[in-house]
């Protein structure tokens, strides 16, 4: 038995080793095109496409552009850092307070501009907990705060929901941040989009930039610009964020890379302080510009917002010597000339009743009713009154350039960012399982493996459909296909629970010897070392909008101990292995590829699980089904026998006992897994109808079958042999035992 000492518990990791980032030539071309485009496009790429290597390369280049500009202060402890950050907060308070107390129209404009940052929440924590980082002490603490900020499984009480309610109370109503129209409705300036892109970039590569995540997390919590602007109390108090900061600094004192990790963390804090100064200045410039606008200029702003949607329905309307549609189709529209002509047009001349044609046209019953909102209509009314009163025009329009000078600098830095640790090459083909496993666990460094990972996941799912017609004979599963109804699903899972997991149980009368028990555990261990990974991307910003998302994210949080490292399932399985004198490198380490304790045939099951996790959008249904299978797996006969054998030989039973408890079918993960499916398909039915439910359901059950395919190897082997036999065989007999993975 090989003994390694490279990964002792507790995991005191403060940063992952620096390593090259691998991307394909195709991703390099696509990333260059994104970065060469407008800042809004960079933001949308980082937020909207969470399954491509292109996004990861855009993230790496964005981090290079921003982080290389940071100049950290020499702070030695958490209190000194807190004082440094507090000084910046003190500097920002007067400006932010003035913005919060501005006139309603100005304040609404400012809040809309800030919204892309306000509604990022703490996105940099989204995937800090992953197979490559767990069970690090500091990652667990960060994840505990992340789970709290997410509402602990109830999004309505989380930070983002609170911020949305605060915005709504102040008159700001915006679509979800991932909506195609979000940036337009927020009227986002280039600098805002670039700042938001930095934080999104960090959220895409948190394992590789753990010190930076820690620094950004503390600085944003301690500065609290969004709470100052909204007039709300911090969801996460500064003292709690500082406690994690202090613990991290203590860990760096014990780390061989501690000095560099502290420098990186302090540089990230310095960057955040600079960015928040920049953005507060932008908001102040925006407010000053808006408050200096004349009524003519405010009308011009309204015209500019709506001109592109005017179409050609105004052909009969003329202003001066031109049709209105010709004015609005012009590129670019000369707003000053347009407003001057509009002022003098017959549409704005007051009638005998004191009003004008244009105001009548935008009221109920008029041809333009509903085009302008209440505030825009009020602006037009005030403008008409000044025209009627004979006040002179003010057509010296000042363009909105808030933040543009700083945006130009960041955009140039982005276009010029060429990280020296980026390697452009196609992924190797024909990787053996140990190599593939290493790459998908470390996907941040091996983004070019994404296409192969997708192919591997799809192949496993396709193979699993074999059990749609033969799955009833499974020893602990039944993947036979059936048409979905909530009642049919619950009946199936209850039958599996009673007939296959609970009723067959009888205590073992003979216990295998110690070596056999340990070997059996090694066939389970690799899958346990990536426990929960199938769901680790479910709570990400921009995709956590269904009840089923929150429910599945809560299951993942349970698997990770909700931030308590002693309850973290990855910690528990390492404890079990240590009780057997098996001491493995961390699965992220290159040395793990050469470990000799866990047999080769166990890799396929874990590879399938991690590959699924990389595609939380396009393989969402399959993840739901897989989740049902794996959560039920922990129950009944097999787990009870496992505990009995471990106890006989005085081996650690904490992992097995934790799953037997937390996965219970009454209210635990097994029941929740079925409830998640029902919740998701209820949404599908309401949005798309019954036919769509059955299409979505087939994919979900394919995910369940893919779990069964790996744990019912004897059944799969029998069915394959029968299909190849020349004569029609009798139905497959149930296997006597589960041949897990091997």
Structural domain boundaries of the chain?
24-65+76-292+405-424, 296-388, 433-724
Question: Alpha-carbon distance 632 to 333, whole Å?
Answer: 63
Residue 727 has pLDDT above 70, yes or no: no
- Average pLDDT of the residues of the chain: 93
User: pLDDT tens digit string along 187-216?
Assistant: 999 999 999 999 999 999 999 999 999 999
End-to-end Cα distance, the chain:
19
Under a CB-based contact definition with an 8 Å cutoff, are residues 605 and 437 in contact?
A: no
Question: Alpha-carbon distance 47 to 121, whole Å?
Answer: 13
Question: Alpha-carbon distance 349 to 343, whole Å?
Answer: 8
- Report the predicted TM-score, pTM, of the whole model to 2 decimal places: 0.94
Query: What's the pLDDT score for residue 312?
Result: 58
Token pair of 733, please? 């007999």
- 3-class DSSP assignment, residue 136: strand
pLDDT bucket at 735, cuts 50 / 70 / 90: very low
Angle at 722 between CA 724 and CA 709, to 5 degrees: 105
Query: What's the pLDDT score for residue 3?
Result: 36
Token pair of 480, please? 């036979």
Token pair of 311, please? 């179409």
Query: What's the pLDDT score for residue 733?
Result: 46
Residue 272 has pLDDT above 80, yes or no: yes
Residue 441 has pLDDT above 70, yes or no: yes
Question: Alpha-carbon distance 145 to 132, whole Å?
Answer: 19
Under a CB-based contact definition with an 8 Å cutoff, are residues 207 and 130 in contact?
A: yes
Under a CB-based contact definition with an 8 Å cutoff, are residues 428 and 323 in contact?
A: no
Residue 31 has pLDDT above 80, yes or no: yes
Which one-letter DSSP state was computed for residue 422? Answer: E
* Region 232-248 average pLDDT: 98
Q: Which of 140, 162, 138 has its CA nearest to residue 150?
A: 162
User: pLDDT tens digit string along 583-642?
Assistant: 999 999 999 999 999 999 999 999 999 999 999 999 999 999 999 999 998 778 889 999
For residues 180-208, one letter each, b for 16 or more C-beta atoms within 10 angstroms of the residue's C-beta and e for the rest, the string is eebbeebebbbbbbbbbbbbbbbbbbbbb
Q: Which of 713, 134, 160, 118 has its CA nearest to residue 466?
A: 713
What fold does the segment set 433-724 form as a domain? Heme Oxygenase; Chain A (1.20.910)
C-alpha atoms less than 13 angstroms from C-alpha of 203 in its C-beta half-sphere: 25
Question: Alpha-carbon distance 427 to 446, whole Å?
Answer: 8
- According to DSSP, the residues that pair with 422 across neighbouring strands are 21
* Region 328-353 average pLDDT: 86
pLDDT bucket at 660, cuts 50 / 70 / 90: confident
Residue 326 has pLDDT above 80, yes or no: no
* Region 650-663 average pLDDT: 90
């Amino acid at each position: 038995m090989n003994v390694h000492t490279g990964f002792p518990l507790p995991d005191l990791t403060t940063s992952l080793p620096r390593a090259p980032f691998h991307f394909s030539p195709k991703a390099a071309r696509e990333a260059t095109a994104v970065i060469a485009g407008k800042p809004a496009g960079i933001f949308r790429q980082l937020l909207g496409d969470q399954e491509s290597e292109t996004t990861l390369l855009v993230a790496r280049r964005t981090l290079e552009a921003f982080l290389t500009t940071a100049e950290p202060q020499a702070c030695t402890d958490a209190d000194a850092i807190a004082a440094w950050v507090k000084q910046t907060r003190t500097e920002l308070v007067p400006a932010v307070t003035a913005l919060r107390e501005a006139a309603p129209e100005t304040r609404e404009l400012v809040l809309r501009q800030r919204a892309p940052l306000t509604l990022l929440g703490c996105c940099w924590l989204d995937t800090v907990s992953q197979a490559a980082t767990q069970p690090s002490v500091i990652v667990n603490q960060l994840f505990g705060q992340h789970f709290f900020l997410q509402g602990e499984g109830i999004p309505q009480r989380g930070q983002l929901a609170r911020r949305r309610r605060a915005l709504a109370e102040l008159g700001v109503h915006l679509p979800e941040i991932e909506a195609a129209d979000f940036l337009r409705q927020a009227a986002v300036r280039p600098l805002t989009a670039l700042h938001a892109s930095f934080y999104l970039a960090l959220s895409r590569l948190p394992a590789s930039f753990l010190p930076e995540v820690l620094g950004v997390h503390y600085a944003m919590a301690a500065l609290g610009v969004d709470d100052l602007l909204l007039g709300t109390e911090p969801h996460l108090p500064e003292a709690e964020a500082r406690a994690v900061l202090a613990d991290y600094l203590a860990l760096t004192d014990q780390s061989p890379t501690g000095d560099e990790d502290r420098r990186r963390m302090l540089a990230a804090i310095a960057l955040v302080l600079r960015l928040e100064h920049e953005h507060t200045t932008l908001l102040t410039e925006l407010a000053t510009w808006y408050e200096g606008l004349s009524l003519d200029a405010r009308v011009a702003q309204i015209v500019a917002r709506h001109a592109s949607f005017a179409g050609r329905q105004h052909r009969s309307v003329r202003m001066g010597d031109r049709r209105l549609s010709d004015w609005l189709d012009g590129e670019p529209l000369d707003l000053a000339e347009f407003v001057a002509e509009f002022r003098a047009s017959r549409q704005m001349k007051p009638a005998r009743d004191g009003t004008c044609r244009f105001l009548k046209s935008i009221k109920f019953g008029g041809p333009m009713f509903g085009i302008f909102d209440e505030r825009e209509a009020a602006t037009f009314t005030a403008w008409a009154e000044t025209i009627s009163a004979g006040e002179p025009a003010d057509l010296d329009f000042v363009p909105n350039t808030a933040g543009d000078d700083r945006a130009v600098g960041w955009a140039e830095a982005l276009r010029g960012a060429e990280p020296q640790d980026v390697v452009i090459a196609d992924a190797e083909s024909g990787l053996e399982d140990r190599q593939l496993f290493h790459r998908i666990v470390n996907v941040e460094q091996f983004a070019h493996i994404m296409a192969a990972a997708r192919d591997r996941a799809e192949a496993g799912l396709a193979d699993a459909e074999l059990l749609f017609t033969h799955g009833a004979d499974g020893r602990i599963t039944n993947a036979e296909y059936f048409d979905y109804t909530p009642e049919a699903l619950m009946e199936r899972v209850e039958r599996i629970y009673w007939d296959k997991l609970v009723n067959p149980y009888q205590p073992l009368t003979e216990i295998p010897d110690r070596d056999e028990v340990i070997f059996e555990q090694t066939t389970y261990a690799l899958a346990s070392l990536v426990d929960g990974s199938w769901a680790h991307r479910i709570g990400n910003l921009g995709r956590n909008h269904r009840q089923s998302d929150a429910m599945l994210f809560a299951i993942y949080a349970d698997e990770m101990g909700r931030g308590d490292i002693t309850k973290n399932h990855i910690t528990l399985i390492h404890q079990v292995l240590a009780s057997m004198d098996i001491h493995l490198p961390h699965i992220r380490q290159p040395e793990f590829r050469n470990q000799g304790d866990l047999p080769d045939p166990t890799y396929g099951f874990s590879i399938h699980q991690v590959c699924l996790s990389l595609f939380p959008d396009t393989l969402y249904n399959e993840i739901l089904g897989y989740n049902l299978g794996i959560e039920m797996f922990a129950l009944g006969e097999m787990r009870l026998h496992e505990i009995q054998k471990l106890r006989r030989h005085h081996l650690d039973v904490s992992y097995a006992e934790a799953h037997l408890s937390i996965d219970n079918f009454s209210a635990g993960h097994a029941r929740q897994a079925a409830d998640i499916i029902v919740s998701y398909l209820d949404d599908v039915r309401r949005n798309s109808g019954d036919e769509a439910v059955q299409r979505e359901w087939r994919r979900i059950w394919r995910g369940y079958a893919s779990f069964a395919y790996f744990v019912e190897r004897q059944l799969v082997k029998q069915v394959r042999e029968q299909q190849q036999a020349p004569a029609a065989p009798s139905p497959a007999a149930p296997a006597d035992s589960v041949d897990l993975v091997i």
